[in-house]
Structures are given as C-alpha cells and as structure tokens.
C-alpha cells in the first residue's frame, strides 16, 4: 500500500487503500468495491463502497492537467479551493452541497459524501425525468450563496479576505478562453463546428462584429467585477438530483465574480434540455408534457431567485448605503443584465466550443442537431444584445419560443 505522503495520480485500488488506510473510513474486514466514476473534464473521481455494510465514500482527486485537454495545465490548489468553497456553501445554503469529510493537500484530494442515489442532472433530463423541486432548490442555493457573500451583506474586510483566498487564475483562464473568447473568434482553433452549421456559425458568430464587441464587454465584467463568491460552473452537469434533493457539486471554478454568471449558467443549461426535447421528442403529447415542465422550471429558477434574493436582501443587508431607497433595485438590475448576457454566452460556447453539451452535440440525427444548434445561437444572440431588457422568466420563454419558431423542426 502506498504511503500517500507524496502526490501521485491514484488508480481505483489506491483509492480503496486510501479510504481504509489513510481516512480510516472503513472498518477492518470491509469488502470494498471501487470504481472510477468521473465523467467531468478536470478530475478523477472514485467511489468506494463496502459491499457488506453499504457504507460508501467518494474520493475526488485533481490531476495536473485537465482530462478534457492537456492544453490546460491546472494548479492543484483547485482542490483546496473546492474544499473551502464546499464548506462555505454548506454553511450558506445548508443541504445543497455534498458533505466533505476530509481534505488532503498532499494527495490533492478530498473525501466526500457519496451521492450515488442521485443522478447527474444533465443525463437525467435527457432521460426526460422531472425534478419538481429543482427550481425551488437552485434558487435558494443561488440567492444564499451569492447575496450572502457580496458587499451589501458581508463585512467589507472579511469579503476582501475571501476575494484574496479565492483568486483562481488557472480555472478563470479556462472560462475567459472558452466562454468569452473562442466562441466568437476561434482564436486557438479549438472549436469543432458541426459541419452542416459551419457557414451559419461563421456568419452568426465570427462574422458578427457587434456580437463580438458585446462578448468582450462581458469578458471585462468577468475580469474585473468582484461582486459575489460565485460557483463559476453551475451547469446541469454540476448538479446531482433526486426528486427530493438537489446537490451542487464541482465548485473548483469558484472565485469572486459577477453573480449573473451562475444564474446565466443555470438558465442556459435548462434551455439546452428544452431545445433537445423540443427538437427530438417525436410524440407531440410527450413533447408538450416535457417541454412545458422545463419551461416552468426555467421561469421558476429565475423568478424564485428574484423573490428569494429580494426577501433575503431585506433581512440580511448590513451596508448602510445599500439600504437607500432605490439601491436594491439598481443593484439587482445589474445582476439580471449579467444573467441574460451570460445565458447567451453559455448557449454559444456549449454549442460551438471545446466543451459541448450532450443535449446538443449528442443529437444523432444531423437535421435535428442542425436545428437545435441554430435555435441555441439565435436565442443566445438576443440574450446578449438585449440584456438590458430581459428580466423575467417570461422574457426568456418568449425569446425561446421565438428562436424555436425561427428554426422549424426538421420533419
């Protein structure tokens, strides 16, 4: 058995040894089964179960390059950031993140609650499962984690210390490149455009100077705006769901950034599920049933967030100038503007960029995929250009219906 006193990339057996020998998580005589269950882009994740007792733990280890591409050399410090942020999120939004049992700065791993009775939400939505509590849960998570870490609420010196402790250059660079830059100029030649839409993308994205300019403005908001401690990667692949439970995972992109970044990611990724359902479910009643649940979820995720933010604001705000009449509305309006902008950016980058989503890139019928991608891009552009006006769930649904109608379903 390895001593785990020097970093190396674990394999399944190492993870089992680690859980027993180092963590003392299992008792002697446990009958362990270990599987590498990671399907994300960055880390290695092992589930270790004792077949006898049913007790289980997840070990998540950071590698020194991303799994998605060795282009990304990543600071191992991201596991420290993940551990710190999970603890903090657990305090701010209890019950909505996995419990962390231990963090090991040498092996760059952490041991956390096994959520195998949950599903990754992206896959679950593609299986047409419904999560009636999701909008309620995610809106609470966002309102609490975002509002309670901003200068309207926090002691300003403590907030500045948090800003310092969550400076996250490597992971921010990935976002800066993949979300804010490459979808609009293919600067690093890493976009892989779906061939039937190549001309469409080249015209609508690379060829639209006004759009590129708006993306650049939003990029500088991401560079500069140390507003809230954001999750930084809050898509449906970062959420574990059960009908009665929602757990947000993978916060290694966390840093102090614009609150709208998280909200926009949630909305865009629900929209991808909607576009998939609208494009690929053949049977009209089944399609209407599922898309209407998704529409409700999209609208409620935003509208409940708005309600909860506002209610929590009135209770939690400490900064005296933030209590002036009109301030809350002005401040929140900026968050909703950023939300719309980021919704658009996420729709673009997950359609054309290096890290595509299964909801779109997984559509096997080429005519359907062509259509789904065009719906995403048409909606995205309106979200970016009209971000000063898009403010409610209904606004998003109206634009979504417009984009869907603009690109009729393939027969």
241 sits in which H/E element: strand 239-242
Whole-angstrom distance between the N-terminal and C-terminal Cα of the chain? 59
- The minimum distance between CB 225 and its own copies, in angstroms, equals 6
Q: Which is nearer to its own copies, 133 or 163 (CB)?
A: 163
Report, in Å, the least distance between residue 223 CB and its own copies. Answer: 4
Query: Token pair 């980058």 is at which residue?
Result: 349
Q: How far is the CB of 321 from its own copies (least distance, A)?
A: 4
Nearest-angstrom CA–CA distance, 178 and 187: 10
Distances in whole angstroms, Cα of residue 282 to Cα of each of 69, 116, 286: 36, 31, 8
The span from the CA of 184 to the CA of 179, in Å, is 9
Residue 14 or 177: the one with the smaller Cβ distance to its own copies is 177
> Least distance to its own copies from the beta carbon of 167, Å?
5
Question: What is the nearest approach in angstroms of its own copies to the Cβ of residue 160?
Answer: 5
* Closest CB to its own copies among residues 221, 233: 221
Pick between residue 3 and residue 164 the one whose CB is nearest to its own copies: 164
The answer for residues whose C-beta is within 8 angstroms of residue 285's C-beta and 6 or more apart is none
- Which of residues 97 and 179 has its CB atom nearest to its own copies in the complex? 179
Residue 88 or 152: which CB sits closer to its own copies? 152
Cα separation of 251 and 134, whole Å? 18
**Helices (H), ranges, 153-208:** 156-165, 169-178, 182-185, 198-201
Closest separation in Å from C-beta 347 to its own copies: 18
CB of 224 to its own copies, least distance (A): 5
Task: Report the nearest approach of its own copies to the CB of residue 180 (Å).
Answer: 7
- Residues near its own copies, by CB under 8 A: 151-152, 156-157, 159-161, 163-164, 167-170, 172-173, 176, 180-181, 184-185, 187, 209, 212-213, 215-217, 219-220, 223-227, 320-322, 324-327, 330-331
Q: Give whichever of 187 and 401 is closer to its own copies, judged by the CB atom.
A: 187
Q: Which CB atom, from 174 or from 363, has the smaller least distance to its own copies? A: 174
β-pairing, 245-248 with 228-230? unpaired
Classify 48 in phi/psi space as left (phi over 0), alpha (psi -120 to 50) or beta. Answer: beta
DSSP annotation of 204:
I
Distance CA 375, CA 398 (A): 13
Residue 161 or 286 with smaller CB distance to its own copies: 161
**Whether 360 contacts 350, CB under 8 Å:** yes
Output the 3-class SS for 268-335: HHHHHHHHHHHHHCCCHHHHHHHHHHHHHHHHHHHHHHHHHHHHHHHHHCCCHHHHCCCHHHHHHHHH
Shortest separation between residue 58's beta carbon and its own copies, angstroms: 30
């Amino acid at each position: 058995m390895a001593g785990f006193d020097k970093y190396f990339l674990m394999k399944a057996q190492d993870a089992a040894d680690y859980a027993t020998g180092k963590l003392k998580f299992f008792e002697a005589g446990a009958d362990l089964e270990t599987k590498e269950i990671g399907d994300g882009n960055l880390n290695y994740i092992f589930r270790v179960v004792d077949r006898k007792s049913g007790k289980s733990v997840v070990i998540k280890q950071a590698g020194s390059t991303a799994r998605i591409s060795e282009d990304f050399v990543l600071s191992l410090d991201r596991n420290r950031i993940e551990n710190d942020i999970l603890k903090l999120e657990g305090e701010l939004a209890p019950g909505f993140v996995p419990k962390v049992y231990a963090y090991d700065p040498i092996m760059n791993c952490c041991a956390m609650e096994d959520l195998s009775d949950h599903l990754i939400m992206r896959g679950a939505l593609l299986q047409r499962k419904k999560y009636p509590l999701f909008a309620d849960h995610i809106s609470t998570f966002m309102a609490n984690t975002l509002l309670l870490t901003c200068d309207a609420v926090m002691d300003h010196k403590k907030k500045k210390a948090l800003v310092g402790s969550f400076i996250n250059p490597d992971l921010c660079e990935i976002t800066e490149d993949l979300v804010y830059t490459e979808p609009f100029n293919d600067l690093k030649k890493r976009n892989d455009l779906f061939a039937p839409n190549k001309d469409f993308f080249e015209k609508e994205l690379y060829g639209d100077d006004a759009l590129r300019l708006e993306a650049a403005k939003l990029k500088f908001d991401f560079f500069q705006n140390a507003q809230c401690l954001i999750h930084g990667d809050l898509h449906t692949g970062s959420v574990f769901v059960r009908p009665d439970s929602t757990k947000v995972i993978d916060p290694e992109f966390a840093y102090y950034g614009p609150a709208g970044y998280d909200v926009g990611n949630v909305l865009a990724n629900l929209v991808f599920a909607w576009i998939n359902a609208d494009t690929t479910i053949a049977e009209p009643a089944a399609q209407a049933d599922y898309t209407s649940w998704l529409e409700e979820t999209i609208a409620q995720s935003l509208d409940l967030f708005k309600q909860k933010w506002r209610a929590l604001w009135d209770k939690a705000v400490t900064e005296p100038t933030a209590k002036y009449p009109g301030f809350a509305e002005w401040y929140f309006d900026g968050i909703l503007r950023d939300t719309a902008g980021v919704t658009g950016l996420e729709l673009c980058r997950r359609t054309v960029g290096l890290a595509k989503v299964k909801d779109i890139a997984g559509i096997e019928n080429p005519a359907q995929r062509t259509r789904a991608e065009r719906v995403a891009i048409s909606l995205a552009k309106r979200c970016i250009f009209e971000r000063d006006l898009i403010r409610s769930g209904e606004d998003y649904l109206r634009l979504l219906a417009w984009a869907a109608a603009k690109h009729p379903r393939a027969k």
